[in-house]
Structure 1
């Protein structure tokens, strides 16, 4: 992955993707209180605390410093955080896409818009060959987002993720630079 010295800012029609900040954490903590986020993702705990948010911010900053990932705050044009999206390096030439959106902002196409911009950034700026994402089979909405952004179903990964002592199958979607 190509190393950028400054954390980038990406603007889309309705959104600004920018660096996570300490000031975002109260809203992040508030959004992620809803159990649905833990149920639909592999890495968001329930209950979600301010300490979880602080740890996430620290990990995001370290990933950027080590050139292993970019976690963007998804912001409206007023620059209020409404969700997050990230690309994390897996083996240098491919990256994993992950995202969440605050519940008041669901079903408005924001993640689709942010993900399209991030995929373009990943291919053009970071020179990835492949970007992939996975979702729990009970989270069909995430699969629809992956299709809308041009990803294609690649594989069903059996018992691929463990959460709360239970193994889950996940579907993997991917998209390639060429």
Structure 2
């Protein structure tokens, strides 16, 4: 299976340890922590290294993390992951993009390609994702790639001393 994907402006590829310092620089941002469920702040270089090492085992469990890289600059700008539940033929998208790259359509472009990968390569029937209810930019990415809001999970996650709700989006083939 080819895990090196591309779009007009992006390369999507597995992370390497050479990416650790770039992941650290991008993810060690309160704005990233605020809009994601699993990235702590502060985010250390060690956090980045542990996260990059983990994917080797993760793929065995159906988790495929991709580095989002600008083609022309060869610059890492974020991550796009698909978590596969093969029994139910569905994949969950999760992503973040460094704050300096927000609002330029990179997450949408990467998500479209990962959905294509999920349907064509992994033979999935459904793709889904969730966004914190106070993160309309993430919901907009889902809507742009054709996902429809399926509902809201109230107080579904507990983070930093508060309960957070998420909107769930999905699309079936």
**Could you say which residue in structure 2 is the equivalent of 1:50?**
45
Distance, in Å, in 1 between the alignment partners of 2:20 and 2:51 is: 9
Contact preservation (8 Å) 2:127, 2:170: yes
Q: Does 1:149 align with 2:150?
A: no
**Could you say which residue in structure 2 is the equivalent of 1:131?**
127
Secondary structure of 2:54 counterpart: helix
Secondary structure of 2:114 counterpart: helix
| Cα shift at 1:59 | 2.0
**Could you say which residue in structure 2 is the equivalent of 1:72?**
66
**Could you say which residue in structure 2 is the equivalent of 1:121?**
117
Q: 1:102 aligns with which of 87, 92, 98?
A: 98
Distance, in Å, in 1 between the alignment partners of 2:118 and 2:7 is: 15
- Deviation string for 1:49-93 (max 9, x for gaps)? 0111112112222111x1411100000113321111010023531
TM-score (norm 2): 0.94
Contact preservation (8 Å) 2:19, 2:76: yes
**Could you say which residue in structure 2 is the equivalent of 1:159?**
155
Distance, in Å, in 2 between the alignment partners of 1:91 and 1:9 is: 21
Contact preservation (8 Å) 2:17, 2:53: no
TM-score (norm 1): 0.92
- Deviation string for 1:92-118 (max 9, x for gaps)? 311110011111111110110010000
Distance, in Å, in 2 between the alignment partners of 1:105 and 1:63 is: 27
**Could you say which residue in structure 2 is the equivalent of 1:174?**
170
Alignment coverage as a number of residue pairs: 171
**Could you say which residue in structure 1 is the equivalent of 2:54?**
59
Q: 2:33 aligns with which of 38, 46, 70?
A: 38
**Could you say which residue in structure 1 is the equivalent of 2:22?**
27
| Pairwise CA RMSD | 1.2
User: Is there any run of 5+ residues in structure 2 with no aligned partner, and where?
Assistant: none
Distance, in Å, in 1 between the alignment partners of 2:7 and 2:100 is: 20
Structure 1: 4+ residue segments shifted above 3 A: none
User: Is there any run of 5+ residues in structure 1 with no aligned partner, and where?
Assistant: none
Which has the larger displacement, 144-153 or 90-99?
A: 90-99
Secondary structure of 2:103 counterpart: coil
Distance, in Å, in 2 between the alignment partners of 1:79 and 1:18 is: 12
